[in-house]
């Protein structure tokens, strides 16, 4: 590779700062797609003195996906990864193509990380898009807090780095990233946010919108962490309503989230929590409500009887 310039140095510093803050081990896994963000991340991880394993997920959604993945494996070895592996997955249909591909990708990464933390190449621009998606969908504060820099086993060292910086870093280092055609396909919501919505907001509001959205996410995450620490975390098959009904709504819903997670609930949205919370705060004898369970297609039923919440 070529000598690093300002952009590559910024990526390296971001990885170094993240590793120091979260106590990263010397060996980490890096999710590598072959795109500019993940290529820059891998190079920055090597430059930061870490010893990365590159995990390249082949979703099989495009005709040349295997060749793209093989090229990413080669690039990982050239950059200096201690090992690079191509992971072939089958993408289902549940939740639409984006959600199904994400589910398959994370399952493969988790199955092959061998206990290592996995670094992901999400940038400040990705964070801004995530916050906008949450706003548009009327999500709660947890969703608007965006992606966490560290949520075991996944780390995101580049949440303060712009997408154009990762592209510039690849140019400086002589790396040729893969341009995923899905990243310009207007059928995908994120593409339209990236191509149409964010540029319009930047124009109307005079710039700095992506950075402002990322700051909003960081601020909300700090608030969420504080409220999570204050909320009780009930467990067990039954939850007495009297234990939580007097709590402020923000704490009561966090307690319900913790209890439901203990019972096997997953991917809870603000709407799911509101429906369960109504069994506590707006009780008028209504029947059970359903929330997503721990496996695809499974639903938990949550009901109230005799002042007790039960989930099965």
**146 appears as a binding residue in the annotation:** no
Give the phi and the psi of residue 52 in degrees, each rounded to 5: -85, 150
**36 appears as a binding residue in the annotation:** yes
Distance between CA 228 and CA 255 in Å, rounded? 8
**34 appears as a binding residue in the annotation:** yes
**219 appears as a binding residue in the annotation:** no
**38 appears as a binding residue in the annotation:** yes
**35 appears as a binding residue in the annotation:** yes
Feature table: binding site for ATP: 33-38
Feature table: binding site: 33-38
């Amino acid at each position: 590779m070529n000598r690093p310039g300002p952009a590559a140095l910024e990526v390296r510093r971001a990885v170094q700062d993240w590793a120091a803050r979260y106590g990263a081990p010397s060996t980490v896994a890096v999710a590598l797609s072959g795109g500019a963000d993940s290529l820059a991340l891998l190079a920055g991880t090597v430059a930061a003195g870490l010893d990365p394993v590159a995990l390249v997920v082949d979703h099989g959604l495009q005709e040349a996906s295997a060749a793209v993945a093989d090229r990413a494996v080669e690039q990982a070895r050239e950059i200096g990864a201690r090992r690079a592996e191509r992971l072939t997955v089958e993408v289902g249909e549940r939740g639409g193509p984006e959600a199904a591909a994400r589910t398959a990708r994370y399952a493969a990464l988790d199955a092959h990380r061998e206990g290592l933390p996995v670094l992901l190449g999400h940038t400040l621009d990705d964070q801004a898009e995530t916050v906008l998606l949450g706003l548009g969908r009327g999500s709660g504060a947890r969703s608007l807090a965006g992606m966490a820099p560290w949520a075991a086993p996944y780390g995101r060292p580049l949440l303060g780095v712009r997408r154009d910086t990762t592209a510039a870093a690849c140019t400086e280092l002589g790396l040729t990233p893969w341009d995923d055609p899905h990243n310009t396909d207007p059928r995908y919501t994120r593409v339209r946010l990236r191509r149409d919505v964010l540029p319009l907001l930047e124009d109307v509001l005079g710039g700095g919108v992506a950075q402002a959205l990322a700051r909003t996410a960081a601020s909300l995450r700090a608030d969420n962490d504080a409220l999570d620490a204050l909320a009780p975390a009930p467990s067990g098959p039954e939850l007495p309503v009297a234990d939580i009904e007097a709590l402020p709504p923000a704490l009561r819903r966090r307690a319900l989230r913790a209890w439901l997670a203990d019972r096997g609930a997953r991917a809870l949205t603000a709407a799911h929590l509101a429906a369960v919370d109504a069994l506590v705060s707006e009780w008028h004898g209504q029947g059970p409500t359903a929330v997503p369970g721990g496996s695809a297609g499974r639903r938990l039923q949550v009901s109230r009887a005799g002042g007790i919440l039960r989930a099965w």
